[in-house]
């Protein structure tokens, strides 16, 4: 595990891709899961200890905001030849075992991670209903090696401001975790 920070590069617009959604085993368009209010795109994977550490909060966060018309999509872009734990079959097992209330997609070509400039897991992107980027970065300040409680504060704060109708400037708050496992 190499600690890697997210990029401060900003991708302005949300983009549609056709990816394998592991719970159904079918390719689906991401746009079919976008919300008119806001969409959270999370780059996660199965093996990363930083993701494992926050999984319970990811589920709680999604369950809090999905009923409020905010959508969540999780994407794994890792090279499964080097990291077989992140294979679609294993993603499906994790999806059901943890009870993810959001779709979990496999980015086999790594095109999606490259488009968004994702560098690590976990890494979050929050888009408006019109597709503009509101937020890019971390879930909160908690990490496995510190004693900060896992609250999802940074993501929750942006989502609550969206629901409250507040004007939201594009914000970047660097995340760090495991690097995305790029293909050679």
- What was the pLDDT predicted at 95? 98
What dihedral do alpha carbons 130, 71, 47, 142 form, nearest 10°? 90
- What was the pLDDT predicted at 168? 84
pTM of the model: 0.94
72 phi/psi in degrees, rounded to 5: -130, 135
Summarize the confidence of residues 46-67 as an average pLDDT. Answer: 97
**Does residue 9 register a pLDDT over 90?**
no
Q: Which domains does the chain have, with CATH numbers?
A: 3-179 (3.40.30.10)
Q: Closest Cα to residue 150, out of 41, 58, 42?
A: 58
Query: For residues 55 and 34, what is the distance between their CA atoms, to the nearest angstrom?
Result: 21
Strands (E), 32-122: 38-43, 70-76, 104-106, 120-121
- What was the pLDDT predicted at 2? 56
pLDDT tens profile 26-41 = 999 999 999 999 999 9
- What was the pLDDT predicted at 6? 52
- What was the pLDDT predicted at 87? 98
The whole-chain average pLDDT of the chain stands at 93
Summarize the confidence of residues 131-153 as an average pLDDT. Answer: 94
Listed range (8-12, 33-37, 40-44, 159-163) with the worst mean pLDDT: 8-12
**Are 158 and 37 a contacting pair, CB within 8 Å?**
no
């Amino acid at each position: 595990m190499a600690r890697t920070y997210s990029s401060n590069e900003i991708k302005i617009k949300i983009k549609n891709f056709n990816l394998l959604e592991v719970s159904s085993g079918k390719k689906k368009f991401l746009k079919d899961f976008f919300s008119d209010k806001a969409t959270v795109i999370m780059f996660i994977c199965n093996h990363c200890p930083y993701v494992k550490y926050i999984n319970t909060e990811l589920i709680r966060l999604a369950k809090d905001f999905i009923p409020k018309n905010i959508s969540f999509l999780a994407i794994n872009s890792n090279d499964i030849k080097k990291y077989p734990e992140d294979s679609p079959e294993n993603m499906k097992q994790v999806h059901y075992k943890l009870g993810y209330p959001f779709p979990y997609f496999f980015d086999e070509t790594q095109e999606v991670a490259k488009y968004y400039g994702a560098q690590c897991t976990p890494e979050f992107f929050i888009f408006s209903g019109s597709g503009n980027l509101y937020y890019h970065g971390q879930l909160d300040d908690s990490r496995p090696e510190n004693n900060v409680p896992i609250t999802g504060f940074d993501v929750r704060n942006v989502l609550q401001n969206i629901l409250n109708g507040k004007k939201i400037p594009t914000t970047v708050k660097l995340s760090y975790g495991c690097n995305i496992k790029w293909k050679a």
